[in-house]
């Protein structure tokens, strides 16, 4: 904004004169220069308009007049003896120059405050955090005025250069302090490392866990009171936390070492956020109280400058409140997101618990079927011995032995085998039905079909027994029951039943429906589909699914298909919405 003005006008004698006005911001005065037409040659007038008005020095000719006027919003800049055609230009300059004067005074206030800070910093012998914070606060105020355009660029640049010099000095002192602090932190780290190593050795040797736990609590207390660098603090805490979990697990069981599940982490994060929201609301209220205080004080200000400074402070406080309210709004948006995540996690935990029950039922059913198959095998071996004895008896009898006797023995043996097969199959069928009820699949028809096939097999064995040799009957009796039992427990995949793809973290009901629509209905099918193919399927389904990352889905599905539930749960606890952040970070570092 220019502080000089040049224009043509007339004096009290109606003579044409060149009028030049120059603002003196430091004392709120305006110099008014008048040059009669005899002095204001074309060359001089051009220099005044092109050079002097833009801040360059111009030598005035002798004979000009000078007068001093007070800058005021109520009094005119020019005396009544001088008239100009463009009175609007004078009025605009008068208004703008009021702002220039106030900005200059604000600049002087900041220069004085900066000088005090400079004197304080020059007296320091080592880094002082309070002085650093005072310098940061000062620069924050300056930036606020720059953002509000209450300071001119030249003033702001000058303040910035001088402030940066002070920051550089403070950084040098802080670097020296940091070096000293790092050495002290290294010493503390080694001490804690040795202490925790001794406690770990005690745990390994199985010494008194209660005493060890109390020692760990004491170490934890010392840890909180000891100063570390971030790196050393993280390492010590990791070791300390791991020992606490190990002792709790040994002392109270595996469940006691928990507390790091996704639900627990979400709850901790939510609690921390609510605490931060409370602090932010309290801070905003404190600023509003300061604002009310400044509003009251401005009415009783001693002098215009104090009132103007308080007005500037009011603007700064208002800006601070606005900034904090924006942050508070972001916090509340994050709170809403966390609440949704917590609800989703509760549902996921429920599904996982149900899936665990299903898996336990499956394992129990498999074990029962295995035992029944083993019993059936023993029964077949026993009947095989009877058949061998029957064959030996037949071979040892004379030729005139009646065929009816042989057939009767064979038929009796086959009937016994059939009865035992039927009993075994009935038990197996009951087991399969139980699995079907737990899993929710519809395999009743398959079970009924299996029963009918087994019944037919038994009838064929009984009907055809008289027509075959004893040796041939022996082979049929040994092989057929095993074949019958092997079809009793068909897997869900063989029966064509879809599996719950939502077990895979990152897949919800909508994505499950999309995958099933393209033929991916089982964990095994999902495991055999590459992440690139899955991304293509999601992209085809619509832009709303573009953001989903399926990089871990095939591996999760493979674990589910192989029954590795413990491994899957442990891995999912590390995932973030189905994304392996650790792997992602390693890839970025490489």
| Percentage of residues of the chain with pLDDT beyond 70 | 77
How far is Cα 265 from Cα 254, in angstroms, rounded to an integer? 18
User: For 298-310, how does the pLDDT look when each residue is reduced to its tens digit (9 = 90+)?
Assistant: 777 666 777 787 7
Mean pLDDT, residues 8-14: 91
Question: What is the length of the chain?
Answer: 590
pLDDT on residue 494:
41
pLDDT on residue 476:
37
- In three-state secondary structure terms, 66 is strand
pLDDT on residue 302:
63
pLDDT on residue 258:
55
pLDDT exceeds 50 at position 559: yes
Give the orientation angle of helix 153-204 with respect to helix 209-225, to 10 degrees: 160
Q: Where are the alpha helices (DSSP H) in 123-152?
A: 129-147
Helix (H) or strand (E) holding 538: helix 531-541
Beta-bridged to residue 7, according to DSSP, are 19
Which of 3-12, 477-486, 554-563 has the least mean pLDDT?
Answer: 477-486
pLDDT on residue 57:
92
Higher pLDDT, 436 or 295: 295
How far is Cα 108 from Cα 117, in angstroms, rounded to an integer? 14
The burial class, CB within 10 Å (0-12 / 13-18 / 19+), for 526 is buried
Structure tokens, 379: 């029964």
Four-point Cα dihedral 518, 519, 524, 530, nearest 10: -30
pLDDT exceeds 50 at position 578: yes
Higher pLDDT, 581 or 101: 101
User: For 329-352, how does the pLDDT look when each residue is reduced to its tens digit (9 = 90+)?
Assistant: 999 999 999 899 888 988 888 888
Q: Which pairs from 273-280 meet CB under 8 Å and 24+ separation? A: 273/331, 273/334, 273/335, 273/338, 274/335, 276/331, 277/328, 277/331, 277/332, 277/335, 280/324, 280/327, 280/328, 280/331
* Helix, strand, coil share (%) of the chain residues, nearest 5: 75, 5, 20
pLDDT on residue 83:
92
Mean pLDDT, residues 124-134: 91
Confidence class of residue 403 from pLDDT cuts 50, 70 and 90?
very low
Residue 214: phi and psi, rounded to 5, are -65, -40
Confidence class of residue 452 from pLDDT cuts 50, 70 and 90?
low
pLDDT on residue 145:
87
pLDDT on residue 437:
47
Q: pTM (2 decimals)? A: 0.35
Tell me the pLDDT of the chain averaged across its residues. 79
pLDDT exceeds 80 at position 205: yes
| Percentage of residues of the chain with pLDDT beyond 90 | 33
Q: Which of 61, 28, 32 is nearest to 45 (CA)?
A: 61
> Tokens 């077949």 appear where?
380
pLDDT on residue 453:
52
Which of 129-133, 185-189, 451-455 has the least mean pLDDT?
Answer: 451-455
Higher pLDDT, 566 or 478: 566
User: For 521-545, how does the pLDDT look when each residue is reduced to its tens digit (9 = 90+)?
Assistant: 999 999 999 998 898 898 888 877 8
User: For 237-290, how does the pLDDT look when each residue is reduced to its tens digit (9 = 90+)?
Assistant: 999 999 988 888 887 766 555 555 777 778 888 888 999 999 999 999 998 998
Q: How many CB atoms lie within 10 A of CB 481?
A: 26
Mean pLDDT, residues 97-111: 88
Helix (H) or strand (E) holding 391: helix 304-396
Listed by start position, the domains of the chain span 4-102, 184-353, 356-486, 501-589
pLDDT on residue 412:
52
Four-point Cα dihedral 447, 450, 454, 456, nearest 10: 120
pLDDT on residue 365:
83
User: For 18-76, how does the pLDDT look when each residue is reduced to its tens digit (9 = 90+)?
Assistant: 999 999 988 889 999 999 988 989 999 999 999 999 989 999 999 999 999 988 878 88
Helix (H) or strand (E) holding 84: strand 83-84
Strands 16-24 and 65-70: unpaired
How far is Cα 84 from Cα 18, in angstroms, rounded to an integer? 10
- Secondary structure (DSSP) of 385-440: HHHHHHHHHHHHS-TTS-HHHHHHHHHHHHHHHHHHHHHHHHHHHHHHHHHHHHH-
Mean pLDDT, residues 502-517: 90
Residue 148: phi and psi, rounded to 5, are -85, 0
Confidence class of residue 386 from pLDDT cuts 50, 70 and 90?
low
pLDDT on residue 492:
41
User: For 133-161, how does the pLDDT look when each residue is reduced to its tens digit (9 = 90+)?
Assistant: 999 999 999 988 888 888 888 889 999 99
How far is Cα 395 from Cα 393, in angstroms, rounded to an integer? 5
How far is Cα 390 from Cα 212, in angstroms, rounded to an integer? 72
């Amino acid at each position: 904004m220019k502080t000089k003005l040049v224009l043509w006008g007339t004096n009290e004698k109606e003579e044409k004169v060149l009028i030049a006005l120059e603002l003196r911001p430091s004392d709120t005065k305006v110099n008014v220069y008048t040059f009669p037409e005899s002095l204001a040659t074309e060359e001089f007038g051009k220099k005044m308009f092109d050079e002097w008005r833009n801040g360059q020095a111009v030598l005035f000719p002798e004979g000009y007049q000078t007068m001093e006027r007070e800058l005021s919003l109520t009094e005119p800049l020019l005396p009544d003896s001088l008239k100009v055609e463009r009175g609007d230009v004078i009025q605009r300059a008068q208004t703008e120059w009021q702002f220039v004067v106030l900005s200059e005074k604000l600049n002087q206030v900041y220069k004085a405050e900066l000088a005090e800070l400079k004197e304080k910093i020059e007296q320091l012998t080592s880094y002082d955090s309070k002085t650093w914070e005072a310098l940061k606060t000062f620069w924050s105020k300056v930036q606020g005025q720059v953002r509000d355009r209450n300071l001119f660029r030249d003033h702001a640049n000058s303040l910035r250069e001088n402030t940066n010099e002070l920051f550089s000095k403070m950084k040098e002192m802080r670097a020296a302090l940091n070096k000293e602090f790092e050495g002290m932190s290294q010493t503390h780290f080694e001490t804690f490392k040795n202490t925790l190593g001794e406690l770990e050795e005690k745990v390994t040797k199985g010494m008194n866990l209660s005493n060890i736990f109390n020692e760990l609590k004491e170490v934890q207390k010392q840890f909180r009171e000891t100063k570390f660098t971030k790196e050393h603090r993280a390492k010590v805490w990791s070791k300390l936390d791991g020992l606490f979990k190990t002792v709790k697990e040994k002392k109270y069981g595996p469940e006691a070492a928990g507390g790091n599940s996704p639900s627990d982490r979400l709850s901790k994060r939510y609690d921390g956020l609510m605490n931060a929201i409370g602090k932010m609301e309290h801070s905003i209220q404190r600023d509003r109280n300061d604002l009310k205080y400044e509003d009251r004080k401005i009415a009783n200000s001693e002098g215009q400058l104090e009132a103007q400074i308080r007005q500037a402070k009011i603007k700064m406080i208002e800006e601070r409140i606005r900034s904090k309210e924006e942050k508070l709004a972001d916090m509340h948006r994050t709170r809403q997101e966390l609440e949704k995540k917590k609800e989703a996690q509760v549902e996921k935990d429920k599904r996982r618990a149900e899936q665990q029950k299903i898996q336990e039922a499956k394992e129990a059913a498999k074990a029962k079927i295995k035992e029944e198959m083993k019993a059936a095998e023993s029964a077949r071996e026993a009947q095989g011995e009877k058949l061998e004895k029957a064959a030996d008896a037949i071979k040892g009898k004379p030729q005139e032995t009646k065929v009816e006797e042989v057939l009767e023995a064979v038929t009796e043996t086959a009937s016994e085998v059939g009865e035992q097969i039927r009993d075994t199959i009935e038990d197996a069928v009951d087991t399969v039905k139980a699995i079907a009820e737990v899993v929710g699949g519809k395999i009743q028809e398959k079970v009924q079909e299996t029963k009918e096939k087994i019944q037919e097999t038994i009838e064929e064995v009984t009907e055809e027994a008289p027509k075959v040799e004893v040796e041939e009957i022996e082979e049929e009796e040994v092989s057929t029951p095993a074949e019958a039992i092997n079809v009793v427990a068909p897997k869900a995949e063989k029966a064509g039943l879809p599996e719950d793809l939502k077990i895979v973290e990152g897949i919800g009901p909508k994505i499950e429906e999309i995958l099933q629509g393209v033929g991916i209905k089982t964990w095994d099918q999902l495991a055999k589909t590459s992440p690139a193919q899955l991304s293509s399927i999601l992209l085809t389904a619509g832009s709303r699914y573009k953001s989903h990352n399926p990089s871990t889905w095939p591996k999760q599905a493979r674990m589910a298909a192989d029954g590795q539930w413990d491994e899957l749960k442990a891995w999912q606890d590390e995932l973030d919405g189905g994304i392996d952040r650790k792997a992602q970070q390693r890839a970025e570092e490489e």
